[in-house]
Structure 1
Amino acid sequence: MNNSKKTNIKFVPIFAMLLLILNQILTYSVTPPNSGGQPMRYLLYWLMFLISSIGTNLIVLYLGFTSRQTKNSIKKLSKIYFYLICIGLFGVIFSVVAFKSFASQDLWLLLFPISHNDFPLASSILLWYVFGSLISKYIHKLSQTTMNSILLFIPWLFIFMPFLFGKQLWSIDSGNSFVWVGILFLLGILFGEENILSKIRSKSKIITLVIILLALPLLLKISPLSVPAANLHSRLYSNYSLPMFFISIIIFSLFISFKTIKYSKHKIIKSLPINWLFLSAYFFTQLPTIAYRLSNDLHLKYKISSVKWLLQILIIFLSVVITVFILTFIIEKLSHLAKINKTINNLSISYSDLNRTPYLIKEIFINNWRSLFVILIGLFLTYIQILSVYILTESPFKMSFLKDVITTSSQQILLSTIIFYLFFVLIFGIFNRYWYALIFSTGVFVIISVAEVLKISLRDEPILPADLSMITAMNELLKMVNPIVIIVALIFIIILFVSSILLEKRFNNIYNRSNWKKRVTFILIPLIVFSGSFFINHNNSLPKIVFKAFGVQPLFYDQTGGARVNGPVIQFINNIDTKIMNKPAGYSKKNIEKIMKKYDNSAKNINKTRKSSLSNQTIIFTLSESFSDPNRVPNLKVSPNPIPYLTKLKKQTSSGLMLSSGYGGGTANMEWQSLTGLSLSNLSPTLPTPYTQLVPSQKISPAFTDLFDSKIAIHPFNASLYNRINVFKKFGFNKFYYDGSKYKLTYKKRIGSSPYISDESAYKNTLKIINQKHSGSRFIQLSTMQNHMPFTDYYPNAKSFKISGSAFSKDSKSSIETYSQGLNYTDKSLKKFITKINKIHKPVTIVWYGDHLASLYNKDSMSKYGIPLHETDYFIYNNQTKKITHSNKVVSPYSFSALALKADNIKVSPYYALITNVTEDLPAMTIDPTSSQSNSLNGSNIFVSENGKKIKSSSLTKKQKQLLHDYRLIQYDLTAGKQYSAHWAQQKIK
């Protein structure tokens, strides 16, 4: 006989909910204390954890106990799913609003809840709950003796025997196990039928419970725990162990035994869906996004006082409890709204429907085949697009490509399919014809695929928004394409057009056309979604958060690689939101002409004291990959000094520190600044990589190379990254030596097992070019690769440097040792290089600099040490004058051209008169290095003094502010404006 109506059993879900929430917080947000270091906190933590772990046991016992009262439990599956959707969406919204991120998995599990096993307990309970009333009815018919026998048999076989033998006899390895849930569910049914728990006196239960609870601390001392809570599997402590089973049964029986508590009859309290509270709490705390936040953003610090520790646990606990109560109340109210309630009822199934499962699946397919067909076509087209890029960029073809596309780009394929589907919906809203919309959408995506293949084949670059401006030059574009391709494309378009007409006529009557309200909705929703493309690179914007959730990597430094990983459509969208630069006040042709005239005069004044010209001069810009003195890194000591020669050389020549705009990356941005004289910090945050996002769209790209007769670039690596081949061509380089180019690198030696060509070989290649006969001025851009990440144990004697300090983690120590050895090799190679340069009987000037620090110092706070973690070494050396024009000067890369001309006492052109003024009269400007733990965004412009301190722009003098404004106007004109000053910036020195 079931006496649940006369007991406090209805409060079990609330109590179980509270225990579950506490258990999840202790699992995710708290690191288990050590029994030796914090004995009292250790006992308190594990006592709370073990007791709270029985919350899941109690709810299963409760469901079994009340199963006879639960009518048509299978019909509640649709409402359970409604709860999951609501709570899942709340989790996504919470993560987006509070933490500016979520994962596509958070949406996927709403459609396929059991696909990732995120809700193991719910999955185990489901079948027992659905068929609980049937099982309960069957057990009810059994005799008293049979039920008593089962009550003895189940605990003995499934609980006592595994405890005695210490083996998992029935594959019960967690409290979520289907077998364990079944045991508790059946016991709950039997407890509801028999009054066995009620027959035991409450006093005896309480005494037994107290004894077990007092024994737990003793057990914890005798057999201490040292595993993470999530990995706890023990016959003493797991919630499926004998002690925890006893505690669960005793507490459950106490709810049955005590007299009914009269609770408030207030309308809100009465309307609170008690039975749904545990479900809400379970779904909420098990959501991957919530579990992640509890584990990371809300994780308690280990070294805090016990009082503060308990207080923080209590605060998180109460916050989650309140959230669950509010969520449950709101969801329950929503479920009673007419339309939602009708949908829930329509989706509900009965036991009789199980016999009709094949027919139901068929009916679902028939009702939704058109949408499914669109999705399948979208998946297929996106897969083919990405595979095509793979084949073009990863030759020769391998069968593994077919699998690689799915394994590396599954999320991006899904996102592209969503974009395809929305595009179809938009076209369908316009035409109100299914086949017209489908064929048109398919045609557009096929054309994109073909255009992508052609563009990559011709330019080694995917389709970008800048290419749309070339539509006006369609005749010239078509001349570049094989006529056969054009003919095939035209035939394909005709076939699509005819097919759409025939299909529309043939299947015209198999679907209902939409009314005007639906059509407006079909048009508006995709347009609203697609408008997000214009904010895709805005920091913390919703479109950027969504793209990040689907694993989209913009890869602006490697656009073709981006198309290979993300697909052509997504990579195109990545490049839509690229505002180049904010327009400075007063931008006009008239004002630009005034500035040009102003610095025409400035050039004349500077040149009065300059005696030399560029004729027969050789200037080398040497970018040394990841080079920076590690002993300048805060909280780090490397001994002996790995770069003794450079340390000495910097004292003998013009030298100082360069402000890098990157940390661990951004090489091309330093190149761009040094070659153009423009500052990255003036650009928009949506344009992080000028080489791929800016230079291709510029009609004219003024650069330092414009001043020279001969321009040569050397990069001892492949040139696929950063669009260097096309950029250097636009900058006027005559030759580009790289690994795989038609201009062969003579020296390609590597050190140890390093995959990168050594700096010694890079310098030898440079010397070979310097010694070649030539007339006139010459510029060489050398970008080395030896010290590029990762810093694996490449070198045979990397352990010769001792690393100490608190700037790095244990995992980084070996990498820093390898890195330091690499610097030492560079230092020795540099000494040989300078020695050879000194023997050359013609003027050679070297501007040598490190592009950024290696990202190895993960224990140093960027907010505290941002500036020193972005300072690299540089020097300017001339083999004939050896004159020191400055020392210990802090500069940015855009100043190197002006500093090189000054070091050689070379006259300047008007544009470089402007750069000279900016270099000499303004503090060095850069991106704010303290605004991010890695690479900061453009636009966060700061100034840095000679002693490495930030300077506010408001502290600049009136003259400095005017100079800065002139500089920004010219930069805007050259990059985002009308280019009134482009030819002026390109003119040679007179």
Structure 2
Amino acid sequence: MFKPTFKFFTKNKPLVIAVVPLIALLALEGFSNGSLIKAITWIRSYPSEFFLSYILMFGIINIFYILPKRAYLVIATIFLSLFSCLGFISQQKLKVKGDPLLPSDFLLAKEAIGISDHFRNVFVVLGILLAVTVALVRLILKHIARERKQRYSSIVFVSSFLVVFVFYSFFNSIQNVFALQLISYSQSLNYQQNGTMLGFLMDTEYLKIAKPSNYQESTINDIIQKNTPSYPVNADFKPNIIFVMSEAFWDPTLMKNVSFSQDPIPFFHSLQKSQTSGTMLSAVYGGGTANTEFEALTGFSTQFLPNGSIAYDQYVNRPLEALPTILSRQGYATSAIHTYDDWFYSRDKVYQQEGFDKFISKEFLNNPEYKGPYIRDTVLTQQILNQVKETNKPDFIYSVSMQDHGPYDTTEDPGNTIKASSANLSPDSQAILDNYANRISDVDQSLKQLIDGLKQINQPTMVIFYGDHLPMLGDNYSVYKEAGFIENGNTYQDYLNLHSVPFVTWNNFSTTVHHNLNLSANFMGTFALQLAQKSGSPMTDLLSNLMQNGTDIIINKDYWNAANIPANTFADYESLQYDLLFGKEYSYDILPDHRPPSKTNYIQGDALPTVADVIPSEGSLIIEGNNFVENDKVYLNGKEVKTTYLNPNSLSIDLPESLVKATIQVKLSDSRNKVISKSNVYKNN
């Protein structure tokens, strides 16, 4: 029954080479837009963008027409399945996060898979598409005979190769000729207008880092010479400096059309009234936590980086003079704490480049308490307090929580005690907001526990607490829209609303209080150094002068006109950042003492485990030492053996048949089976 169909494909070659790319493009756009009708509407609305997309698809698929027709149809079928998958994934991401599939997402595949089971349906559909692809390939291989190559096969191949070559080499010119417009402030609009292929391709071009036109050593020297700290420095005063970046923490009472049965964050609100507080502008919404963290720790701004990029995964590949480096020079112990996997956003590597002494991730936590799918913030609080108690130096701690991470269910949690009320909320939005309010209520209690614990320790200490970004409440901003908090997500005011999170501070050494401060995340590190009266770096000195002159916010460049920001406002800032992150590091040639060293003593965990003795005991072998954790495993002669955790000083394994010349080592591996901590090798002679 299939032979007539396959005969049609083999006898109507010109039609095949024209129709196959069209089908693939319609599949891509149909899945990406959510329906074939929307794909056809896009073709009618943007014929130029459709034409270019079709030509590119023609080149990609028909470059294989030089192969035997059976092989060509097999490859075409695989491409059809592949583009269908990519379109479907893009649509799912658009529904959940408000953005389609971006080039940078391929660098974050491990995060997308590791974060939750929210995308289970994606894998189900992909499995179905894979099964269909395999079935079609088998049918093609069975029913199509081998054919000889003909002359026009070479013509099609050459034409297709030229198409791909021109797009690769001259895409900027193509954009100019066809007046293609990259809509960088809204990737959903970008893909709606340009289509998935061109939108994705333009984003790929946009990932390139352009060198500032005035970048040279003399420019960097001038920038450094004219920027000295704008605040007093006290070298003898060394308070503990603690950052708490609380996952998706925000104040839902800011939505004027919504009321709550009780205040979800009463302690946070009390700190706002009694302590220095304000609003922090985050560069991201609903995700991209690492970009907020990157800005706060380095002083760099992601507004100078390509839209959609994640600095931690793409750009941090050499030592940086970040806050840990700056404060280590001044006698501080520097620790990073995160209640999630060590590899997430490449933190295990990046924290070393930023100058931390240690990184305590969830792998090193003994029997942590969970609240929902993630570790409760009270566990993070206790880790912070432990660090302050244990060290004999002033502490710099950057902590990142996880408890409040989305998604937020559309089914009401029966344990909820706080209820939202609004006439405009749908049942799904009502449940989402109720679930969120109750989660952050528990986070608020953890913050109170931290401050109460620090009061008891009674060391000079300051805390800066803020959310990394607004929570993603519903698909495509649904809760925010229904609550009247934003209009459509694309206006300048909507941008400010969706990127502004409240922050509070606490300290026990100053009575000076400031309210209603307004900073973007990249100024938070400089702000902390100023409060603690600590010296900084060329970057923080530049930022301190910008703050003194009233420039303490940097927003997306697409809104500079709306905010009346002159084009050259941040020219020095951008040049200095390029020098430190991508350039020749002229800054460190000018100021050698500021060159960050390679952090060779960096460890993961609170302390490295040590094996001091091995003692046989009633069929078991007791490994004695220090700094053991529950996830540690004993390796006997290089092979992992079943291990029982007894306490921080003891592990137990079954007694081996022989201990003669045995080697024993304790190791800890993360969820990707990478060894992240190991002890000395103990040799039993």
TM, length-normalised to structure 2: 0.61
Deviation at 1:367, TM superposition (A): 6.5
Equivalent residue, structure 2, for 1:102: 29
Question: Is it true that 1:759 corresponds to 2:387 in the alignment?
Answer: no
Question: Is it true that 1:694 corresponds to 2:315 in the alignment?
Answer: yes
For 1:797, give the aligned amino acid.
Answer: G
Deviation at 1:368, TM superposition (A): 1.9
Deviation at 1:739, TM superposition (A): 1.9
CA contact (8 A) 1:660 1:893 kept: yes
Q: For residues 556-581 of structure 1, what are the alpha-carbon distances to aligned partners after superposition, in whole Å with 9 as ceiling and x for unaligned?
A: xxxxxxxxxxxxxxxxx999645454
CA contact (8 A) 1:878 1:904 kept: no
For 2:594, give the aligned amino acid.
Answer: Q
Query: Taking structure 1 as reference, are residues 598 and 765 closer, same or farther at Cα in structure 2, changes over 3 Å only?
Result: same
Task: State the distance in 2 between where 1:87 and 1:514 align.
Answer: 17
Deviation at 1:89, TM superposition (A): 8.7
Deviation at 1:85, TM superposition (A): 11
Give runs of aligned pairs for residues 57-72 of structure 1, distance below 5 A.
Answer: none
Equivalent residue, structure 2, for 1:651: 273
Q: For residues 870-911 of structure 1, what are the alpha-carbon distances to aligned partners after superposition, in whole Å with 9 as ceiling and x for unaligned?
A: 211112222333532x21111111111111122123334443
For 1:976, give the aligned amino acid.
Answer: F
CA contact (8 A) 2:247 2:404 kept: yes
Pick the aligned partner of 1:915 from 543, 566, 571.
543
Task: State the distance in 2 between where 1:681 and 1:547 align.
Answer: 24
Deviation at 1:819, TM superposition (A): 0.8
CA contact (8 A) 1:747 1:765 kept: no
Task: State the distance in 2 between where 1:676 and 1:531 align.
Answer: 35
Deviation at 1:371, TM superposition (A): 3.0
Equivalent residue, structure 1, for 2:497: 868
Deviation at 1:734, TM superposition (A): 2.2
Deviation at 1:672, TM superposition (A): 0.7
CA contact (8 A) 1:379 1:413 kept: no
Equivalent residue, structure 1, for 2:401: 784
Query: Taking structure 1 as reference, are residues 373 and 652 closer, same or farther at Cα in structure 2, changes over 3 Å only?
Result: closer
Task: State the distance in 1 between where 2:429 and 2:129 align.
Answer: 32
CA contact (8 A) 1:803 1:816 kept: no
Give runs of aligned pairs for residues 805-820 of structure 1, distance below 5 A.
Answer: 806=424, 808-820=425-437
Query: Taking structure 1 as reference, are residues 522 and 83 closer, same or farther at Cα in structure 2, changes over 3 Å only?
Result: closer
CA contact (8 A) 1:876 1:903 kept: no
Q: For residues 121-160 of structure 1, what are the alpha-carbon distances to aligned partners after superposition, in whole Å with 9 as ceiling and x for unaligned?
A: xxxxxxxxxxxxxxxxxxxxxxxxxxxxxxxxxxxxxxxx
Pick the aligned partner of 2:37 from 275, 290, 293.
290
Task: State the distance in 1 between where 2:547 and 2:390 align.
Answer: 33
Q: Secondary structure at the match of 1:981?
A: helix
Q: For residues 798-825 of structure 1, what are the alpha-carbon distances to aligned partners after superposition, in whole Å with 9 as ceiling and x for unaligned?
A: 143333254x433111111111111111
Equivalent residue, structure 2, for 1:749: 369
Question: Is it true that 1:798 corresponds to 2:413 in the alignment?
Answer: no
Question: Is it true that 1:619 corresponds to 2:241 in the alignment?
Answer: yes
Equivalent residue, structure 1, for 2:652: none
Q: For residues 173-220 of structure 1, what are the alpha-carbon distances to aligned partners after superposition, in whole Å with 9 as ceiling and x for unaligned?
A: xxxxxxxxxxxxxxxxxxxxxxxxxxxxxxxxxxxxxxxxxxxxxxxx
Question: Is it true that 1:951 corresponds to 2:563 in the alignment?
Answer: yes
Q: Which has the higher strand share?
A: 2
CA contact (8 A) 1:746 1:765 kept: no
Query: Taking structure 1 as reference, are residues 538 and 721 closer, same or farther at Cα in structure 2, changes over 3 Å only?
Result: farther
Query: Taking structure 1 as reference, are residues 553 and 734 closer, same or farther at Cα in structure 2, changes over 3 Å only?
Result: farther
Equivalent residue, structure 2, for 1:526: 164
TM, length-normalised to structure 1: 0.44
For 2:258, give the aligned amino acid.
Answer: L
Equivalent residue, structure 1, for 2:306: 684
Query: Taking structure 1 as reference, are residues 712 and 291 closer, same or farther at Cα in structure 2, changes over 3 Å only?
Result: closer
Deviation at 1:692, TM superposition (A): 1.1
Pick the aligned partner of 1:854 from 466, 471, 475.
471
For 1:692, give the aligned amino acid.
Answer: D
Query: Taking structure 1 as reference, are residues 782 and 409 closer, same or farther at Cα in structure 2, changes over 3 Å only?
Result: farther
Task: State the distance in 1 between where 2:148 and 2:15 align.
Answer: 35
Task: State the distance in 1 between where 2:14 and 2:376 align.
Answer: 61
Q: For residues 632-682 of structure 1, what are the alpha-carbon distances to aligned partners after superposition, in whole Å with 9 as ceiling and x for unaligned?
A: 134332232211111111121111011122222221111011011012222
Task: State the distance in 2 between where 1:767 and 1:655 align.
Answer: 22
Deviation at 1:797, TM superposition (A): 3.3
Query: Taking structure 1 as reference, are residues 701 and 530 closer, same or farther at Cα in structure 2, changes over 3 Å only?
Result: same
Query: Taking structure 1 as reference, are residues 370 and 292 closer, same or farther at Cα in structure 2, changes over 3 Å only?
Result: closer
Q: Which has the higher helix share?
A: 1
Pick the aligned partner of 1:965 from 561, 566, 571.
571
Equivalent residue, structure 1, for 2:510: 881
Task: State the distance in 2 between where 1:907 and 1:367 align.
Answer: 69
CA contact (8 A) 1:633 1:868 kept: no
Structure 2: gaps (5+ residues):
1-6, 48-64, 84-107, 115-119, 134-145, 474-478, 597-685
Q: For residues 846-889 of structure 1, what are the alpha-carbon distances to aligned partners after superposition, in whole Å with 9 as ceiling and x for unaligned?
A: 111111111222423122533223211112222333532x2111
CA contact (8 A) 2:281 2:521 kept: yes
For 1:902, give the aligned amino acid.
Answer: Q
Deviation at 1:721, TM superposition (A): 2.9
Deviation at 1:922, TM superposition (A): 3.7
CA contact (8 A) 2:237 2:533 kept: no
Q: For residues 909-962 of structure 1, what are the alpha-carbon distances to aligned partners after superposition, in whole Å with 9 as ceiling and x for unaligned?
A: 44321121123324343444xxxxxxxxxx43549xxxxxx63114x9xxxx56
Give runs of aligned pairs for residues 399-418 of structure 1, distance below 5 A.
Answer: 407=126, 410=129
Equivalent residue, structure 2, for 1:823: 440
Q: Secondary structure at the match of 1:713?
A: strand
Task: State the distance in 1 between where 2:544 and 2:203 align.
Answer: 33
Task: State the distance in 2 between where 1:797 and 1:916 align.
Answer: 46
CA contact (8 A) 1:626 1:787 kept: yes
CA contact (8 A) 1:911 1:985 kept: no
CA contact (8 A) 1:658 1:873 kept: yes
Query: Taking structure 1 as reference, are residues 533 and 292 closer, same or farther at Cα in structure 2, changes over 3 Å only?
Result: closer
Equivalent residue, structure 2, for 1:770: 388
Equivalent residue, structure 1, for 2:221: 593
Give runs of aligned pairs for residues 499-510 of structure 1, distance below 5 A.
Answer: none
Give runs of aligned pairs for residues 86-97 of structure 1, distance below 5 A.
Answer: none
Q: Secondary structure at the match of 2:432?
A: helix
Query: Taking structure 1 as reference, are residues 988 and 89 closer, same or farther at Cα in structure 2, changes over 3 Å only?
Result: closer
CA-based RMSD of the aligned residues comes to 5.3
Query: Taking structure 1 as reference, are residues 533 and 691 closer, same or farther at Cα in structure 2, changes over 3 Å only?
Result: farther
CA contact (8 A) 1:610 1:906 kept: yes
Task: State the distance in 2 between where 1:511 and 1:869 align.
Answer: 58
Task: State the distance in 2 between where 1:522 and 1:292 align.
Answer: 24
CA contact (8 A) 1:412 1:551 kept: no
Which protein, 1 or 2, shows the higher relative CO under an 8 Å CA cutoff with sep ≥ 6? 2
CA contact (8 A) 2:588 2:595 kept: no
Query: Taking structure 1 as reference, are residues 815 and 576 closer, same or farther at Cα in structure 2, changes over 3 Å only?
Result: closer
CA contact (8 A) 1:656 1:890 kept: yes
Larger Rg: 1
Deviation at 1:794, TM superposition (A): 8.1
For 2:421, give the aligned amino acid.
Answer: I
Question: Is it true that 1:976 corresponds to 2:557 in the alignment?
Answer: no
For 1:691, give the aligned amino acid.
Answer: Y
Task: State the distance in 1 between where 2:571 and 2:235 align.
Answer: 30
Structure 1: gaps (5+ residues):
1-74, 107-286, 299-318, 324-363, 383-388, 396-400, 415-506, 555-572, 929-938, 944-949
Task: State the distance in 2 between where 1:532 and 1:692 align.
Answer: 28
For 2:356, give the aligned amino acid.
Answer: F
Give runs of aligned pairs for residues 279-678 of structure 1, distance below 5 A.
Answer: 288-290=35-37, 368-372=69-73, 407=126, 410=129, 511=149, 520-521=158-159, 523-531=161-169, 539=183, 577=205, 579=207, 581-599=209-227, 602-603=228-229, 606=230, 609-613=232-236, 615=238, 617-678=239-300
For 1:893, give the aligned amino acid.
Answer: A
Number of residue-to-residue matches in the alignment? 503
Give runs of aligned pairs for residues 241-260 of structure 1, distance below 5 A.
Answer: none
Equivalent residue, structure 2, for 1:705: 324
